[in-house]
Structure 1
Amino acid sequence: MSDSTGNSADGKRQFGFTTTILHNDRSKPIEHGSLHKPIHTSVAFGYSDARQLASVFQGKEPGFRYGRQGNPTVAALEDKLTRMEDGVSSICFGTGMGAIGAVFQALLRAGDHVVTSRFLFGNTNSLWHTVAGQGVAVDFVDATAVANVAAALTPATRLVFVETIANPRTQVADLAGIGQLCRERGILFVVDNTMTSPYLFRPKAVGAGLVVNALTKSIAGHGIALGGALTDTGEYDWARYPHIADNYKRNPPAQWGMAQIRAKGLRDFGASLGPEAAHHIAVGAETLALRMQRACSNALALARMLAADRRVAAVHYPGLPSHPQHGFASALFRAHGFLLSFELADGIDCFDYLNRLQVAIAASNLGDTRTLVIPVAHTIFFEMGAERRASMGIADSLIRVSVGIEDEADLLDDFRLALQQ
């Protein structure tokens, strides 16, 4: 928090989002005055005093143990992500799915119960079905209405998991309502912020205790590095969580959850982020706000154009007033995101249409600087089958668009000309 002079309670100046990220590495000493944290490739860290080595392993003082559990380059990125999400600490993983998997690995036990949105990224959906086969009950509900989440809760519910904007149909969860419900019930609220990013939205504002970011997407932005992260916002009281092992309770309760997640997700499960990828992600994050402003502006213009074309049967984008959760998105997000999807009118083959595009690229990533398109039912959601796709509102002609930062006129012409042909 800052006062009217722009200073925080400790007297330090407070800066805007991009200024903070650009200069975050220099908030701590860096070797040789480097402007970026260097890439530390070593997996081992030596100590001249063996007692200090033991103290680091026992958690009595800070330090690095082994590359699987972190290194200086990854730690610098974690610090940057914590600032981006206004949290208390972050842990990086090799992928976004590694981050979500660490939640299950570290916090859930057989007999526990999870409530999650039924509008989920395909791989996350698959993961929760795997979890359900290992003794954890999982209920998939329509999280656009908090009443559906409330009806699914049981005494064994340990966490509620939702995405901000669902991939690919762009449903927006009732984030504020669910956050309030979880506060009242003492349940951990986990929010995947990938489709919005910390620039558009901070889930801490609605009471999320843990925030997931697939760093591969908008935060890195250039499609050259895989990564994921969990950020503890400080909003959840870990003293209320029933599965914290005694050896992680040596520290203050605010640190219990992340200490267990780091140990189980990195030390035991090995879902670690490498230093080279961490460096790429950290550099990409510096331009997050600039890229998101352009991508969101392009997405809104494209959504409006497609919605006005008779050859398009439906457009799904939270920025359109016709979107069922337009009100939620407008109240919470700085802009309405880079992701949209649309359905072609009967008689238009989605593959032929995609093959006519010259700017947009047929590819499966999201949050790239380039516009990427994919026929959803035939690729990333093919494995779940027609019945499951229908329950999620995924039509056979649905095309997902991750809108990039191209010149707006070029982008609109590309989609328009492909329709005309």
Structure 2
Amino acid sequence: MMSKGITTTLLHADRSGNIEHGAVHKPMHTAVAYRYGDVNDLVAVFQGTQSGYSYSRQGTPTTAALEHKITLLERGRGTVSFGSGMAAQAALFSTLLRAGDHLVSSQFIFGNTNSLLGTLQDLGVQVTMVDATDAANIAAAVQENTRMVFVETIANPGTQVADLAGIGRLCRERGLLYVVDNTVSTPYLFNPADVGAGLVMNSLSKYICGHGNALGGALTDVGGFDWSDYPNIAEVYRKGDPANWGLMQLRKKGLRDMGGSLASETAHRIAVGAETLALRMERACHNALTVAQFLEGHPSVARVHYPGVASHPQHARATELFGVRDASGGHAARYGALMSVELQPGLDCLAFLNALEIVILSTHLGDSRTLALPAAHTIYYEMGPQKRAQMGIADSLVRLSVGIEDTDDLLTDLAQGLARLTR
């Protein structure tokens, strides 16, 4: 069988199985219930000894088609999809951790994830947050009861790049479940399987969907963890191949019991959006690097946080980790499309944002359009100044999620916005 690139693989993934009437896309299956001609088949599906669908809360043929694509993207064993990225994270922590367990997390994480970890502590799970740009900090935080390590590849919004390979080696040595949120880098630029991750999280709402028109999340088992030794797998799911136990518990507990299900209509929209992931990421990464270099040289800008600029503390690491390979196996670095900018002291970041004409003021990221917001005033406001300082979020920090517009138009808009501040 010929080896195929990522776009070809995604475009033709649905045709790997039979599709009714020769359609090139899997159709939307909106039924809630599924009929069986033999009750023994129904029983087997319920008990997990036979593949099939019992009730749409646990998945449909349409969500399964999307999960197949995500599994291909992450080079994994299987995927469970959820109604949002936060639903995926809630399922991850609540179904695989128990009261008395210990979680080590990067301190550079999405604001809502930070809030969720606070809820987890209220439920009896110990959480230690450290600077994950050095695996030694993770190692120092590990305790007897540590079960899981959680990091983002490129942090939102500060763009710190975790010591992904070093943490992977540590987790293998200690037998810890290593979970990597791959949302900002996307599986186009990076596969956490390459650094020993056990589970990979993706917010499908962002770059994978790409058009700001659907919420979704996914957890993919990429084969880097031995579930047979994990004490938190319920006895009822300890049957068959242990490699399937983690996803089985996530699907049963996270979807069946907690109801964080992804609707078929939404799954279909995300699956179609995913087909152009590579095309969109190439353009967005090009735009982001150009914008970052322009802003870094502007007198009104104090600092640019973007892994693609040489001043970034983890620039060398990002160059090694993130990018695409050509047909000859060569590596071309790409640094993602998310950045943050600090203006010079005395300049009003809110006035700057209000002066922009093309850039959209919005809380989302990973859209095909360029979006911006004042991070400290909005998505990180609730955590307070002390926590923001720990995460490196200055009061003047502007987060930019760079889209696929014409590059010169973005530069012109940013230039005129900054010019208004200096007048």
TM-score in same-fold range (> 0.5): yes
Secondary structure at the aligned position of 2:220 is classed as: strand
The answer on 1:319 being equivalent to 2:291 is no
Match of 2:260 in 1: 271
Instruction: Report the CA distance between 1:79 and its aligned residue.
Output: 0.6
Secondary structure at the aligned position of 1:380 is classed as: coil
C-alpha separation in 1, matches of 2:215 and 2:299? 39
Deviation per residue, 1:239-263 (Å, 9 max, x gap)? 1211111111111111111111110
Match of 2:134 in 1: 145
C-alpha separation in 1, matches of 2:155 and 2:268? 28
Deviation per residue, 1:109-166 (Å, 9 max, x gap)? 0110000000110000110111011110000000000000000001111000000000
Instruction: Report the CA distance between 1:13 and its aligned residue.
Output: 2.0
Match of 1:310 in 2: 299
Deviation per residue, 1:377-411 (Å, 9 max, x gap)? 00000011111111111111100000000000000
C-alpha separation in 1, matches of 2:188 and 2:123? 36
- CA root-mean-square deviation: 0.6
C-alpha separation in 2, matches of 1:320 and 1:372? 20
Aligned partner of 1:154 among 138, 143, 152: 143
1:246 alignment partner AA: E
Match of 1:224 in 2: 213
Instruction: Report the CA distance between 1:347 and its aligned residue.
Output: 2.1
C-alpha separation in 2, matches of 1:85 and 1:173? 19
C-alpha separation in 2, matches of 1:13 and 1:254? 28
C-alpha separation in 1, matches of 2:6 and 2:144? 40
Deviation per residue, 1:67-125 (Å, 9 max, x gap)? 10000000000011000000000000000011111111211001100000001100001
Match of 2:329 in 1: none
Aligned counterparts, 1:207-246, within 5 A: 207-246=196-235
Aligned partner of 1:24 among 13, 37, 55: 13
Aligned counterparts, 1:286-301, within 5 A: 286-301=275-290
Match of 1:350 in 2: 349
Secondary structure at the aligned position of 2:151 is classed as: strand
C-alpha separation in 1, matches of 2:307 and 2:338? 9
2:374 alignment partner AA: P
C-alpha separation in 1, matches of 2:238 and 2:395? 51
C-alpha separation in 1, matches of 2:322 and 2:414? 26
C-alpha separation in 1, matches of 2:215 and 2:163? 29
Match of 1:378 in 2: 377
The answer on 1:412 being equivalent to 2:411 is yes
C-alpha separation in 2, matches of 1:124 and 1:388? 13
2:360 alignment partner AA: I
Deviation per residue, 1:331-361 (Å, 9 max, x gap)? 1100100000001112211111111101100
Match of 1:285 in 2: 274
Match of 1:124 in 2: 113
Match of 2:84 in 1: 95
C-alpha separation in 2, matches of 1:105 and 1:419? 45
Match of 2:179 in 1: 190
Runs of 4+ in structure 1 over 2 Å off:
none
Match of 1:179 in 2: 168
Secondary structure at the aligned position of 2:365 is classed as: coil
Secondary structure at the aligned position of 2:162 is classed as: coil
Secondary structure at the aligned position of 1:162 is classed as: strand
C-alpha separation in 2, matches of 1:347 and 1:151? 39
What runs of 5+ residues in structure 2 fail to find an aligned partner? 324-333
Aligned partner of 2:52 among 63, 68, 91: 63
Aligned partner of 2:188 among 199, 202, 206: 199
Match of 1:5 in 2: none
1:168 alignment partner AA: P
1:409 alignment partner AA: D
Aligned partner of 2:32 among 24, 39, 43: 43
C-alpha separation in 2, matches of 1:78 and 1:317? 31
Match of 1:4 in 2: none
Secondary structure at the aligned position of 1:102 is classed as: helix
C-alpha separation in 1, matches of 2:165 and 2:13? 30
C-alpha separation in 2, matches of 1:34 and 1:84? 22
Deviation per residue, 1:220-239 (Å, 9 max, x gap)? 00000000000000111111
C-alpha separation in 2, matches of 1:233 and 1:101? 19
1:197 alignment partner AA: T
C-alpha separation in 1, matches of 2:171 and 2:118? 23
Secondary structure at the aligned position of 1:223 is classed as: coil
C-alpha separation in 1, matches of 2:168 and 2:23? 41
C-alpha separation in 2, matches of 1:81 and 1:168? 24
Secondary structure at the aligned position of 2:194 is classed as: helix
1:184 alignment partner AA: E
Secondary structure at the aligned position of 1:419 is classed as: helix
C-alpha separation in 2, matches of 1:317 and 1:60? 48
Deviation per residue, 1:160-180 (Å, 9 max, x gap)? 000000000100000000000
C-alpha separation in 2, matches of 1:243 and 1:349? 50
The percent identity for this pair of structures is: 60
TM-score for both structures, normalised by structure 1 = 0.97
Question: May I ask how many residue pairs the two structures share in their alignment?
Answer: 410
Match of 2:328 in 1: none
